[in-house]
Structure 1
Amino acid sequence: MADVDALPEVPPGAEDNAAPKADSAAVEAEVDLSMFDLSKKKKKKKKKVKTEGDDEAGGGDGEDREEGEGRYNYETLLERIQNLLHVNNPELAERSRITLKPPQLMRMGTRKTLWANFQDICQLMKRQPEHVFSFVVAELGTEGSIDGNQRLVLRGKYVPKYIESLLRKYIVEYVTCQMCRSPNTTLTRDPVSRLFFVHCQDCGSSRSVAPIRSGFHAQTRADRRALRNAVK
């Protein structure tokens, strides 16, 4: 008979121990895989429900609200308000501006300056010429008058750029609304407190303004002569 290689002897109980090791390895693999299962932690997307009447109220496309919350975001509400303004009140949606003509100045002799379009600028600002005159004279620290043609005559020599800076200062203080920045305002004086108030015709706000105070005025020879004549 041919020799048959002897098989290696298997220790008793080795087969029984091998099966549990394989099973435990499979269990460990299942445990490791289950640790990376993130299906339970995924967030569900919220469904958006388009409300009825958005298009009619100016909502337009994309103006939805989240289901169950009943709240709109800020951008959606702002866009709806702007659309309603354009539809119902187009004059409020557009910012009004005042286009002033540059002051037309010319020399009168050697010591005076004539402001030719003074009346036109006062009408564009919707302000009384007397109030604008008081402001200009107080800021310049000089004297002046309004002639029969509603032109302003100032004592001294002035350039248009300097007068333009005074107009900007006057508009900020006595014309522009501080709430909505609209120039569509009126200036009235309270009969009791004798204070001036700026009333906005667009947003309805009202504010008091500072009274016009005259600045430093150097006394000239003509002033001293007039004072002596008044004493006599």
Structure 2
Amino acid sequence: MTLTLTVSDDVRALAPGFTHVAIEAHGLVNGPSNEAGSALLDDAARRLAARLDGRAPHEDPHEDPHMAAWRQVYTAFGSKPSRTRNSAEALAKRALSDAGLPRINLLVDLYNAVSVAHLIPVGGEDIDRIDGGMRLIRATGREDFVTVSGGEETVEHPDAGEVVWCDDAGVTCRRWNWRQGPRTRLTEKTTSGVFLLESLAPMPVAEVTAAAAELAGLLADFSPGADIAVRAPESSA
């Protein structure tokens, strides 16, 4: 069964240059981070440095035109992009620092590598943990976002007008692609996942499509026999 993904008219009006590509995969094999995944992350950091023309370590990648576009959209819905960075910018900043990229689990490492190499926000959700379809909306401020703070489960609420991904049970990711909730996260037990690659103009749609093809190829390599489908890009332009 194909997972339903919808983008509200309010979000399309806010970001007319928004495009997303989804990859739905079943029969995945996940596990702890390994040497192969780590090598992909290291290579992604090198590709990022080349993309940024050898920009010195520790320098913020926010001047990249795609990252600048995300900052403008974050500002438009009331978030401070220097404090709440989109996921690609946050990962890129780590990749260019001494800290380097985190190792989470194999599936997450794969999509993080593609995100960094292409400077595209990429997220992954466990389909078996999603309640109904997924929707990208502007929040009312009453939606529940279940997260963990200080080791304890807590419920937060997005700001009114904030762009969030949600399902029938509540918010799955706040501030568009800033912070994912633990409920739908990819874990080492995940066997079915949806991967979302998100871009804004001026990034060409062809580049998002190429990044999706790269990620689909990696998923196939690391989960032989998995059923993997890449959906056509959906644009609000």
Q: TM-score, normalised by structure 2?
A: 0.25
Question: Larger radius of gyration, structure 1 or 2?
Answer: 1
